[in-house]
Each structure stands twice: as C-alpha cells, then as structure tokens.
Structure 1
C-alpha cells in the first residue's frame, strides 16, 4: 500500500492547478447524478420486507411443493443440501435431483439419501441442446418430470444449506403477499482470507444496482432474483413454458424473473439469511472466476441498461477510493480550488456510505464457523475498484465455459 500512496503523491505533485481542477470537475460531472441515483435506491432500505423465518407446515400445504436440484459433479458440497431438504416437512411432495451425468459419485450420494427419504428421486437430463445452458436445461427437465399435483416449483442449487422450516415459511410468505414467483438472498459461508475481502465487494455491486432485498422493483427490467432458492407457482411456470425463455442465459434466474414480471406476474426478492445458507466457491480465485462471469447480468438486460449500470458502479463504487487518494493529495499540496474541494468531499461521502453499508450486509454472512479471516470483511471496500473491474470484464464478453461445460461464443 505504501508504494501506491507514494505513486499517487508523486503523480499529484505533477498536477498543475488547471489539470487538478479539470480532473475534479470531470469527476463531479459523472459522480453527482450517479450519487443521487444511488441514494434514491438506498433510501428504500427502511421500508424493506423483514427476512423470511422458518415456519411449521400447515395441513393445507400438504404436498404443495416439488423441489428440483440440478447437479453436475457436486459430491463435495451436496450433502448439506440433501440433509436440509430432508428436514423439510410434509409440504414437500418430492425432491428431484437432475444430474447431468456426474463422474464424481454425486448419483451415489443421492441414492443413499433416497434410502432414508423416499421423496428423493434421481433422474438424468438429456444431452444438452446447442441453444441451452446447462443449469436452465436441468431445471427445465426437472419441471417437466415434476408432479402436476404440486402447486409450487422450488429450484434449489446444490451448494445451498436449507434450514428446517424454509419451504413452509417461503410458501406462507408467497401466499400472504400473493407472489407468483419469489426468490431469496442467502447467508454466505466464507472461509478464506481472499473470499472475506473480495466477495462482499462483489455483492455490493448488486446492492448499488438494484437496492436492498425486500423492496418492490420499479419495473420488470429492474427485477432481481436468485436461483439458489427460487419458488414459482407451477401454473405460472407452465404458462411461461418452463425455463424456455432463459434457455441461453448464464443468469437464468434473473432472466426468467424479469420475463415473468414483464408478463404481469408478481415477482419478489426477499431476505433469506435466516433460512438458507450457501457455500458458493472455494477461495477468492474461484469467486473471481465463477461468480464474476454472470454478475454483470447482461443476458437479462439490454445493452443500455448494462452500460448504465457500469457507469453507476464506476462512479460510486470504483472511483471513490483512488479518487480520494488523489484529491486529498492535491489538497495536501496546496491545490484548494472549489472543484477539488467539492470532489474530495463527495468521494469521502461515497466512501462513508460504502463503509456504513457493511453493517447493513453483515447479517448476510455466517460467522458461526469461526473463520479467523472474517475481520477482512470490514476491509472489503478496499476491493471495490477490483470488483467493479470484474464487472467490466464480464460485461465485455460471453463466457465460453461454465461449471465444467464448454459453450460456443
């Protein structure tokens, strides 16, 4: 860090007053409207719906839900998901694991679970069509093989760890709010130092773009969703022709949710930190590579929306840290023009917002496992420029591989 500060100081020394003023004015030009947009989104936070909590099943929920879990070589992390699903009550009619011909022993793990709980059923999906991505294809296959007597379809990822009472609580909330489709943000399980530093910065890119979970979206194109725990009325999913609308999307959850909203169905995105946990990736490298590929959401967005989001992230998340170093160095060198002082104040304000948001998202992280590196969470704003850079990289090209599969560009 010392060499960064030295470099910034040296660069600042070379700035003349006109150059510094121009730099500050340019920052103000792009950051002021972005700041107002950010504040308008964050201001909705106090009105967000409370987190989902576990509930006991009620008699009218008997056999109401078909659960589908897509798998491809998930043996190392599937057990907590299977255990959590087996703890759900009679509201779960069946648990269909759609395996894409795993070679690591995943099917055997499911068969072992089936011996203890007959609700588990293992099927294989057909060979992947050229115009489909693997995950929506597996979920679509599961939907086609699910019972027509179920009222709800629940897609869950293999890396989730459901808590007992999750499904009953989710159904009760969906019916009370008259949601046709609702998904949950989980509580994240992190272990290694790089994860604790980088992952929260990537998560904040979603908060900046779409606001807190539990609020109403202004329009279909601003709807957010999470396929890790994704509940939809079966009759609605049938009208949407399953996952067909999201067949080629690497963010099929958001694509399908926005399509449903555009068709007039009520879509919700709620806080599920009290009912479901997730261990997504192993380490910062895998987090950067795998999660970063779909986090731009370009498959669910128009190009104008993608570029608007990139402008926002650059202005209010990517620039404040380096800009503050430069601007306060300018002030230290005696360059105190009004534009420099205004820009310095604005970027300091944005940094304060970012650090304050750490307290808002802290419940989204599981600290019960005693990770010694969890303190790095509080330094995650220092990773913001890197996180924004990852979104730019992701938005610039389509993935060629995903979860062990290769795709044509």
Structure 2
C-alpha cells in the first residue's frame, strides 16, 4: 500500500470517529428550556461595549425585553470602554427610559490587562452585592425574549457553575459562510461534552463569551476576570479558572435563545480572528500539529477521492456529514457543508496569518495596537 493510500485511510478513519462524536454530542448537549419557570434570583447582565453604535441599541433593547421574563430583579450594566462613534449617546438615551439600565464609563486600561477582561472586571465589581448570577453578553448578540430565564434555568437545573449557550451564528458573505460554521463544529467534533463538564484538564474546556452565564459565588472563588486579565481568549480562560477552583462548566446549544453576527465581511473577519487565533493552541508547535491533523482528516481524503480513492471518498463524506449535522442543529446552511475542505483551508490560512501579524507587531483590534507576544 502506498504512502498516500495509508494517509487517506488514516484520515478517513479519524473523520468517521469525529462523525461518531458529533452524533453522540448532538444527543447529550445541554439546551436551554424556553418554557422554564421565571428565575427569582438577583441577576446582573454585564455588557462591555467599545465603538458599537451600529448594534448596541438592538442588543440592549433585546436584553431589556429578556429581563421582562424574569421574576426577580435584573440589573443591566453596560460599560462604555472609550467609544468614539456615538455609542455613549445611544446608551444615555436608552438609560433615560429604563431604570434597570446603568451605564458606566470605563477607567483607563491598567498595565497587564487586556481590554475586554478589564471591562468585564469593572462590570462585575459594579454588580449589587446580593447578585446571584452574572450573565455576560457581547454587543453583537441579540437575545430572544426567553433567553435570560432559559439560560439561568440551565445553569441551575444542570448543577453547573458556568454555562455558555452558543448563539446561532449569522453568516452572509462568502468568508463568513466558510469560517463561522466552524465555531460550533470545532468543539462538537472534538470534545466529548459530558466528560468535559467534569474534567479539570485545560484541553477539555470550551466556552463562548458571546453569552456566558456564571454563578456569582463561583466567579468570585475563581478570581473573576482578574484571574484572566491578560488572556486573549478570556472566556475559555475563565472556564478553566472556575474548574481550577472546583467548579464545573461547559458550552451548550443556544441556537434558540440568541443570534450573533460576529463579523461583517472579510476584512473584519480576518482582523477578528487575527487577534486571537495565535493564542488558541498554546504554542506555535501545537498549532502546527493541529493544522497538520486538520489537513490529514478534512483535506487529504477529498484530495485522495479525486484520484479515485474509496477511503478518501468515505472520509470526505464523513466530514461533510458531521458538518451538515451540526449546521442543521445550529441553524446554519446545511448545503455549505460540501465546501468543508475549503473552510478548513481558509481557517489554516487565518491561523498562519495571525502568527505572522503577531510576530510583526501589526495586530490591531478596536483601535488598540497589539504588541508582539501579547494581544
């Protein structure tokens, strides 16, 4: 048997294993209950914003509507982190019409902190002392009316300390349609969700800061955002901190409770992933290993199939099936799954670009320069 045939068979076997894991995770993934009883606990919704004039009104108004579904007090705290695009004026207008909304002005960024952890730290510190649950929401997220009730119920009914109902990802342009569906697929196809809840291993952690719900006491015990002050992927780092302190947490299916459009087109997508992908794998060597594995499992088989390899065809079919199953569950375009090898190739290019731009010191996000070695 030739070397290419061996690689095609190996890739196909791993692709089939990944499909099996996806099928299992789809059966056991936790999902918020839209008919859950209204929570009576004191909840604080924390929303850090910076130059979000185009979407902050939609986000905040949706949060306030979701707060109506709760039986207990809900405080909505928004921190304006130095916006220069009219965000502050929009927030002032919203706060004038709803007493549940408090707008904070962010303090200067201290040494050793990144922007989002610092903003979240200030928001958590401003929450009322009797707050029992903290819900962090990004400005590009739109909550459904039952989102807060369902999310807090999921936290309590699961017995977990942190849950991240993953919003439905909206993708319009070609680059978004290729890359964004990989977000849910990536952890659905590699992480056994129920064991991940209990495991304290850093590699068994997946989280999403777009919509993150955490028990307030567990948050404080873990050190809050001060414990992840210099982390680019602060959401995953916060889950790991919660686990280190004895807590448990996991991602969930938030398709029915929220939507999110992270990036509008290729330039924003490239910059957004550029700021963080370099830190997603732990080291350049680990990143190279992951990229090689992705090539073996999701690019090698379809290439082999074009040469007439049956194993390659099986591997490609398994990859497409896994991607399609995740898309169907999460509201994505099932037909885009046929382009899965192209999606993986584009992701790999984004990873390489992220490392290159970090090395050159040219990474920027929200008007802040990213220094070499730190984002």
Tell me the TM-score normalized by structure 2: 0.85
Alignment of 1:210-229 (within 5 A): 210=191, 216=197, 218-221=199-202, 222-229=204-211
Change (3 A) 1:322 1:55: same
CA distance in 2, matches of 1:142, 1:67: 9
Structure 1 position 164 matched with structure 2 position 175: no
**Corresponding residue for residue 81 of structure 1:** 59
Note the alpha carbon deviations across 1:98-146, whole angstroms, 9 max, x for none.
Answer: 1111011111111111122111111122111231111111001101111
How far the C-alpha of 1:153 sits from its partner, in A, is 0.9
CA contact (8 A) 1:54 1:164 kept: no
Change (3 A) 1:393 1:218: farther
Structure 1 position 129 matched with structure 2 position 129: no
Question: Aligned residues, how many?
Answer: 363
Change (3 A) 1:349 1:397: farther
CA distance in 1, matches of 2:176, 2:296: 24
Name the stretch that deviates more: 163-172 or 377-386: 377-386
Alignment of 1:6-405 (within 5 A): 21-26=2-7, 28=9, 31=11, 34-35=14-15, 38-39=18-19, 41-55=21-35, 58=38, 61-62=39-40, 64-87=42-65, 88-89=67-68, 90=70, 91-201=72-182, 203-210=184-191, 216=197, 218-221=199-202, 222-291=204-273, 293-295=275-277, 298=280, 301=282, 306=287, 308-325=289-306, 327-328=307-308, 344-357=309-322, 358-365=324-331, 377-381=336-340, 382-394=342-354, 398=358, 400-405=363-368
How far the C-alpha of 1:192 sits from its partner, in A, is 2.6
CA distance in 2, matches of 1:39, 1:209: 9
CA distance in 2, matches of 1:312, 1:243: 33
Note the alpha carbon deviations across 1:46-76, whole angstroms, 9 max, x for none.
Answer: 5323521334653xx3352111101100010
How far the C-alpha of 1:223 sits from its partner, in A, is 1.1
CA contact (8 A) 2:321 2:337 kept: no
Alignment RMSD (CA, Å): 2.9
| Bigger Cα Rg | 1
CA distance in 2, matches of 1:198, 1:211: 22
Q: Which runs of 5+ in 2 are unaligned?
A: none
CA distance in 2, matches of 1:391, 1:40: 27
CA distance in 2, matches of 1:46, 1:203: 11
How far the C-alpha of 1:307 sits from its partner, in A, is 5.1
Note the alpha carbon deviations across 1:263-307, whole angstroms, 9 max, x for none.
Answer: 3201121100000111111013322331354246537x4677645
**Corresponding residue for residue 12 of structure 1:** none
CA contact (8 A) 1:214 1:271 kept: no
How far the C-alpha of 1:216 sits from its partner, in A, is 4.2
Change (3 A) 1:132 1:307: same
CA contact (8 A) 1:196 1:380 kept: no
Tell me the TM-score normalized by structure 1: 0.79
SS at match of 1:182: strand
Q: Which runs of 5+ in 1 are unaligned?
A: 1-19, 329-343, 367-373
**Corresponding residue for residue 332 of structure 1:** none
